[in-house]
Structure 1
Amino acid sequence: MDRRAQRVVGLVGVISVALIGLLGGRVDLWSSSARPAQAGTASAQAAGLGEAEGLQSAFQRIAEQAGPAVVSISTEQIERVRQYFRFHPFFGEEPFEDFFRQFYGDQPEREFRRFGLGSGVIIDPEGFILTNEHVVADAEKITVTLADGREFTGAVKGKDPRSDLAVIKIDAKSLPAAPLGDSETVQTGQWAVALGNPFGLMGVGPSVRAMGAEPTLTVGVISALNRSLPRASPKYDRDYSGLIQTDAAINPGNSGGPLLNLRGEVIGINVAILTSSRGFEGIGFAIPINKAKIVLDTLKEGKKVIYGWLGIQIQDITDDVAEYYGLTDREGVLVYQVLPDSPASQAGLKDGDIVKAFDGQPIRHSRELIDRVSQTKAGRRVSVEILRDGSRQTLQVEIGERPLDVELAEGGATEAWRGLRVSGLSPEQLEQFNLPPGTTGVLVVDVAAGSLAEQAGLRPGDVINEINRARIESVSDYRSAIAQVKGNALVRTNRGYVVIKAVGG
């Protein structure tokens, strides 16, 4: 028996002894003089039972009313891979793969079908479904199964990797839609209900069409608000901030499903769990529905979600920073880097400035500034109040459009070129990919299946340090180099030279 089991058993033992003691004592108390107390206890128990049954009815009502609006989403993606002799589980892949490519040439690609499962919630009777972007990203086929068992082919109407939200559309009418609540009113400690398709339990196939596909309902509380998660990969520019934390069970397959309050209103879209075992350990997260509302209409219309951008790196003000600057409080954010040629740079912001207000609204911390800038329309001029050298100044900034890649500010990857996406090299990535200290260049973070870059033999983890003899030491160098490429490109990597052709062969 492990230590955790011993602790549980120990607690059960203590509780059992306590109950036995109470029951034993009650035998002595059941005398004629104690009968009024017995009546009072029975009344209290009846009241408690009534409250529990009321709560139970609320959960049942949610299952009946919101359950039909929850869908199962299954995806299919084709991956194309060139395979050589597979010695790499024991000896390492690279030397043998290069050897066989040299003597036998490129081998034919093999196709593998990759399947995924997730959840979604109907938000419009006309067939619009809200889910996570990562549920449908790169999917070549999407199948949506309703709670009544009907299956439809889904199409991505709009998606936004940064918010990790997407809207898919099915050809159906008069569907049950879940009402959207107000996540600003959510409080820690209130009840929370998660609905979804964990581990694909809603099912697919003839039996589901005949019997229906009831979603799984789990119950918990709101554990905390405004949680933030680190980015899982430099490939994805996701903003996992301001999340709702819950202990309602969320498991693989729940992604994209709704988190609801006791009124059956959607207060969040389940997105992630923290776990050491791939199973649920009581820590799940949901995107607040108010955050989804900001981009919802844009996604339904199939348009690109555009975020405002200043082009600065910021941090919250610590006690040490406040003391250094002679501040009486810690409100505001410290600018520690202004990106060149950014809106902030053009407006005159400098490293070391403290932003105290944005567009007339006070700024207390970095999350507040990031959210307000992101939600400001590109091209709009706003005032930014700063503290510089002890004096307040007001600058006018024209908000820019957030680029696909914000290498310095966010560590994101560049837009695809010939199927290739790269990012700058960080010390953590040097260690992660076992690269020698001092390695320069840009890191390949994604190679699209079947792309020109894949045909050339590039793969994630490669480091590019030269393109057509032009030295590459940063993403800026990379952009400049690919802008000059007209035909085939000679690319030097940490594994040698490859040629990325202009036309596939």
Structure 2
Amino acid sequence: MEGNMRKIGITLLTAFVGGAVAIGAYKLLEPTSLSGLSLDERQKVYFTNNPSDISSSTGAPDFVQAAAVVSPGVVHVRTTYNRSRSQAANDPFGDMFEDFFGRRQRSTPNPNAPAPMGKGSGVIVTGDGYIMTNNHVVEDAEKIEVILSDKRILEAKVIGRDKNTDLALIKINTSNLPIVKLGNSDDVKVGEWVLAVGFPLTLESTVTAGIVSAKSRQIGILAPEVDRRNYDPNNPPTNSSIESFIQTDAVINRGNSGGALVNTRGELIGINSAIASQSGTYEGYGFAIPVNLAKKVMDDFLKFGEVKRGFIGVTFQELNADIAKELKLTEIDGLYVNSTLEGGAAEKAGIKKGDIIKQLDGQEISSSARLQERVGTMRPGDKITLGVLRDGQIKNFNVILKGNEATKLATSNKEVSEVMNNLGATFSPLTDAAKKKYGITSGVVVTSVAAGKVFDMYDMPKGTVITSVNGKGVNNNDQVVAALKEDSKMITLQGFVPDGSRFRVTFPVK
């Protein structure tokens, strides 16, 4: 009897000590503050204490578990605007690509009408209230409210916004929130099942399913708007936008903007951002920002208060059979280097005009969107290795990315600035999607027109597409300038005006 009592006592003591050690270890490991931690680190703390055992669906698709675990972490974002808020100008390809932020229709302002409102979605990524969403959901909002799954309404503040990626980080003051687990968008495969979760149209939380139909899509919706009244020809705008969307056929609509695209394990792989539509509602394809890019942007907001971008310092165009023929190349795959920026990272590494970028850190790179996405996850000072085809051989160049000085170098080209000033217009490269729309292989889009200058006089407005200058196909500013040198007396431009009508205009050089 005494022996049994001793065994029971030892067992109880062991259990007590074990429990105390476990509690002590948890308190020892538990951070006193989340300040300074990245999103990944914050999520590890959360999921250490809240383990999830969702596994990928096998056999017949079953999304019940993923939908149940993700839905509480996706919120409704409601915004209020000033009555006099100016409406953004239409994108030249706005009829083809619509965001699905539920904004009101443009109309004559009524001073007695309620303040205009908008709606979108957001994804909770930390238990203390950090929420990922789209920049266009919260841009210019006077008031931002977040409606949680438990129906609480909390006011949010903007931590950071980035137009170049259409991402924003907002914060609500609360704790113990359900969060969505961050996945790895590099692992996403075309054909895999995904769920889109958000607040479309006037509906409550909605889950739809589909597959990943493509990756690294560039659709041309993030090119910067240019204010023609404040246009400075000596400092023309540059297009630093990053578009490398995950394309899905999961049904998404206006109001889904900023919502979650997740895999069948309930992991966030993208932030829903846009749809391809001629009607403004779902017609088959939606586009999400890869979560790896989103994580980097959000971490920059947390650590620096702004986005830290690394730049290679090159201008390039994506090769295909038609472009290779124009350039008299035999290689039809890769990124052809049109120019390197003086003093830029690429030039210092030894990369030259005419090189063809084929690899980044040993991985094949054949699309500009993919290169921009990968570099977009890096910061100034980071090192990359570019595999470049030169003289029939792949040569590796170690490149140390530079910061914003790269864009300043890009806009300091006096020759380009002088030509743009004389024409009274600025240009951005035409996206692959727009080229397919018009059935062309080259082109630049006019991003601004100065009053009284050549483009204004010949009625070529913003949104006009220039396919050739003096018979030469053009894809960027450098090619426009080079083509203008082909004829010292006359200039001939060909292309499309915004309504799709073709034009050809010839005028004398002044």
What range describes the TM-score normalised by the shorter chain of this pair? 0.5 to 0.7
Structure 1 CA distance, aligned partners of 2:192 and 2:209? Answer: 11
Structure 2 CA distance, aligned partners of 1:403 and 1:140? Answer: 33
Structure 1 CA distance, aligned partners of 2:399 and 2:313? Answer: 11
Match of 2:494 in 1: none
Alignment of 1:332-347 (within 5 A): 332-345=334-347
The 1:401–1:130 alpha-carbon spacing in structure 2 relative to 1, beyond 3 Å, is same
Q: Contact 1:229/1:240 (CA < 8 Å) preserved in 2?
A: no
Q: Please say if 1:223 is aligned against 2:227.
A: no
SS in 2 for 1:116: strand
Write the letter of the residue equivalent to 2:65.
R
The Cα of 1:135 is off from its aligned counterpart by 1.0
SS in 1 for 2:182: coil
Q: Contact 1:81/1:110 (CA < 8 Å) preserved in 2?
A: no
Match of 1:259 among 258, 261, 272: 261
Q: Normalising to structure 1: TM-score of the pair?
A: 0.57
Write the letter of the residue equivalent to 1:115.
M
The Cα of 1:61 is off from its aligned counterpart by 3.4
The Cα of 1:118 is off from its aligned counterpart by 0.5
Structure 1 CA distance, aligned partners of 2:331 and 2:445? Answer: 34
Match of 2:72 in 1: 68
The Cα of 1:327 is off from its aligned counterpart by 7.5
The Cα of 1:188 is off from its aligned counterpart by 2.8
The 1:330–1:134 alpha-carbon spacing in structure 2 relative to 1, beyond 3 Å, is same
The Cα of 1:158 is off from its aligned counterpart by 2.2
Match of 1:429 among 446, 449, 453: 446
Q: Contact 1:231/1:240 (CA < 8 Å) preserved in 2?
A: no
SS in 1 for 2:357: strand
**Deviations 1:455-501 (Å, cap 9, x if unpaired)?**
xxxxx99xxxxxxxxxxxx9xxxxxxxxxxxxxxxxxxxxxxxxxxx
The Cα of 1:404 is off from its aligned counterpart by 9.6
User: Relative contact order: is structure 1 or structure 2 higher (C-alpha 8 Å, sep ≥ 6)?
Assistant: 2
The Cα of 1:74 is off from its aligned counterpart by 1.0
Structure 2 CA distance, aligned partners of 1:191 and 1:327? Answer: 39
**Deviations 1:283-319 (Å, cap 9, x if unpaired)?**
1111222222233322334621211112221123334
Match of 2:177 in 1: 175
Q: Contact 2:196/2:260 (CA < 8 Å) preserved in 1?
A: yes
The 1:142–1:317 alpha-carbon spacing in structure 2 relative to 1, beyond 3 Å, is same
Match of 2:279 in 1: 277
**Deviations 1:225-246 (Å, cap 9, x if unpaired)?**
2222113543295745332222
Q: Contact 1:164/1:238 (CA < 8 Å) preserved in 2?
A: no
The Cα of 1:395 is off from its aligned counterpart by 5.8
Write the letter of the residue equivalent to 1:217.
V
SS in 2 for 1:300: helix
Q: Contact 1:122/1:178 (CA < 8 Å) preserved in 2?
A: yes
Q: Please say if 1:188 is aligned against 2:205.
A: no
CA RMSD of aligned residues (A): 4.3
Instruction: Give 1 or 2 for the bigger CA radius of gyration.
Output: 1
Greater helix content: 1
SS in 1 for 2:80: strand
The Cα of 1:325 is off from its aligned counterpart by 8.9
Structure 2 CA distance, aligned partners of 1:65 and 1:285? Answer: 22
Match of 1:316 in 2: 318
Matched-pair identity in %: 37
Q: Judge which range, 226-235 or 152-161, deviates more.
A: 226-235
Q: Normalising to structure 2: TM-score of the pair?
A: 0.56
Match of 1:286 in 2: 288
Q: Contact 2:144/2:157 (CA < 8 Å) preserved in 1?
A: yes
Structure 2 CA distance, aligned partners of 1:248 and 1:431? Answer: 36
Q: Which runs of 5+ in 1 are unaligned?
A: 1-51, 83-108, 203-214, 410-421, 446-459, 462-473, 475-505
The Cα of 1:277 is off from its aligned counterpart by 0.6
The 1:114–1:423 alpha-carbon spacing in structure 2 relative to 1, beyond 3 Å, is farther
Write the letter of the residue equivalent to 1:429.
V
**Deviations 1:35-88 (Å, cap 9, x if unpaired)?**
xxxxxxxxxxxxxxxxx9x968x4343443222111111112225479xxxxxx
SS in 1 for 2:125: strand
Q: Count residues with an aligned counterpart.
A: 344
Q: Contact 2:360/2:385 (CA < 8 Å) preserved in 1?
A: yes
Structure 1 CA distance, aligned partners of 2:323 and 2:425? Answer: 31
Structure 2 CA distance, aligned partners of 1:157 and 1:248? Answer: 30
Match of 1:235 among 225, 228, 242: 225
Q: Contact 2:145/2:156 (CA < 8 Å) preserved in 1?
A: yes
Q: Contact 1:231/1:239 (CA < 8 Å) preserved in 2?
A: no
Write the letter of the residue equivalent to 1:147.
S
Q: Contact 1:70/1:196 (CA < 8 Å) preserved in 2?
A: yes
The 1:374–1:127 alpha-carbon spacing in structure 2 relative to 1, beyond 3 Å, is closer
Structure 2 CA distance, aligned partners of 1:304 and 1:406? Answer: 18
Write the letter of the residue equivalent to 2:446.
Q
The 1:276–1:324 alpha-carbon spacing in structure 2 relative to 1, beyond 3 Å, is closer
